[in-house]
């Protein structure tokens, strides 16, 4: 009987698991990283048959006390949960298929509580500056990836795995043969999504994007640092895309699940509040529709007022990317500012564009600056 069977350390069993089990998974790269982490722990050189629930609990607590070197923050409980789930799977295979242990000690150890699902929304100002950054970036693929992420709700791996031969621009559909949940799906492509692909120059076959996961991750982090955008992950774009699909008000939950690839509708529960917004419109149907439309669109937006030395005032509406210079008395400036906002809202609606969501953010302004909300319908 070989040494692996007689005196297998966890390190050796992890190698065997990686080569026999992990290699068959779509998430092989991520799981390989977790295996390396486990092999660097104090558990690795102990015989797997001697490991107890106390050892596993000690490993859990040690990992939770560590700091992520990339973020400088405590290690995420979700990271430790994933490592413990992997370790549990290793023990199950070692027990059932390889006969190396009699029990799985991980099952008797509490896992860290999962972090609440992220609900980070993309602010209108962030959307504008990211688009400008991508437009000026040396690789034109970055802008197309960003637009496709926001319009299709595809995951990063699905985007980077796109191939030209699986994109039907005439039918406006992209076929994904393999997805995270194990099944294929067809993703509808909006006009903006098709334009993002056409911008790259369609090919008969081959990968659409040259980016790999690590490269895109590095570029995204650098962009967030340069633009001073905090706590926005690339995966948050998927949440934003799904939120926007709900906010359209024209798709039901099943249709959105078909686009996003969610097998369980329970995963879409976090968007229930967006569905409630649609119900408000139905409740108000037929009741002073014109008034309701005005109250819905002509809402307060943040503005920054800068008083110049010559007595003029520069008013900026960040959500619209508009800046105007006005002059007059205090009352006339207030009136003109509201009128400018009304014009911006009306012009946006006339173009058929979607109005931005008010995105007021507290900033450290200079004394001559004043940040406030402007109500276009104020008396």
Catalytic residue numbers read 155, 180, 235, 238, 262, 271
Under DSSP, is residue 258 helix (H, G, I), strand (E, B) or coil?
A: helix
Give the Cα separation of 55 and 58 in Å (integer).
Answer: 5
The β-bridge partners of 301 are 374
Please state, in angstroms and as integers, the Cα–Cα distance from residue 85 to each residue in 19, 51, 81, 158, 267, following that order.
18, 16, 6, 24, 20
**Backbone torsions φ then ψ of 46, nearest 5 degrees:** -90, 145
Lookup: tokens for 111: 């896992």
Give the Cα separation of 84 and 343 in Å (integer).
Answer: 57
Give the Cα separation of 254 and 97 in Å (integer).
Answer: 40
Please state, in angstroms and as integers, the Cα–Cα distance from residue 157 to each residue in 29, 121, 351, following that order.
12, 21, 35
Which distant-in-sequence residues (6+ apart) come within 8 Å of 17 by Cβ? 35, 89, 90, 93, 94
Residue burial 350-362, b: 16+ Cβ < 10 Å; e: rest:
eeeeebbeebbee
Q: By the 8 A CB rule, do 235 and 253 touch?
A: no
Q: By the 8 A CB rule, do 373 and 303 touch?
A: yes
């Amino acid at each position: 009987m070989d040494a692996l069977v007689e005196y297998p350390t966890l390190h050796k069993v992890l190698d065997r698991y990686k080569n026999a089990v992990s290699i068959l998974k779509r998430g092989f790269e991520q799981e390989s990283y977790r295996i390396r982490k486990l092999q660097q722990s104090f558990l690795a050189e102990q015989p797997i048959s001697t490991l107890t629930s106390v050892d596993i609990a000690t490993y859990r607590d040690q990992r939770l006390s560590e700091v992520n070197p990339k973020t400088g923050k405590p290690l995420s409980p979700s990271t430790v949960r994933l490592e413990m789930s992997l370790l549990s799977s290793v023990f199950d295979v070692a027990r059932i298929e390889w006969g190396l242990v009699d029990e799985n000690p991980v099952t008797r150890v509490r896992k860290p509580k999962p972090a609440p699902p992220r609900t980070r929304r993309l602010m209108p100002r962030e959307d504008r500056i990211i688009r400008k950054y991508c437009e000026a970036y040396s690789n034109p693929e970055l802008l197309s990836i960003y637009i496709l992420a926001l319009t299709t709700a595809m995951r990063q791996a699905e985007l980077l795995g796109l191939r030209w031969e699986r994109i039907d621009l005439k039918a406006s559909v992209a076929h994904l043969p393999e997805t995270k949940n194990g099944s294929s799906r067809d993703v509808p492509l909006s006009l903006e999504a098709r334009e993002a692909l056409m911008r790259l120059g369609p090919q008969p076959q081959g990968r659409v994007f040259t980016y790999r996961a690590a490269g895109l991750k590095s570029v995204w982090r650098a962009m967030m640092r340069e633009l001073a955008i905090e706590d926005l992950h690339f995966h948050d774009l998927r949440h934003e895309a799904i939120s926007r699909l709900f906010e359209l008000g024209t798709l039901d939950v099943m249709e959105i699940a078909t686009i996003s690839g969610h097998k369980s509708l329970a995963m879409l529960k976090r968007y229930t509040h967006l569905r409630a917004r649609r119900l408000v419109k139905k409740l108000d149907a037929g009741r002073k529709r014109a008034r309701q439309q005005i109250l819905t669109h002509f809402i307060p937006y943040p503005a920054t007022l800068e008083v110049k030395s010559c007595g003029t005032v520069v008013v900026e509406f960040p959500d619209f990317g508009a800046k105007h210079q006005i002059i007059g008395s205090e009352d006339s400036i207030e009136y003109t500012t509201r009128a400018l906002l009304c014009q911006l809202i009306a012009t946006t609606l006339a173009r058929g564009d979607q109005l931005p969501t008010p995105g007021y953010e507290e900033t450290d302004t200079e004394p001559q600056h004043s940040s406030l909300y402007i109500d276009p319908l104020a008396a």
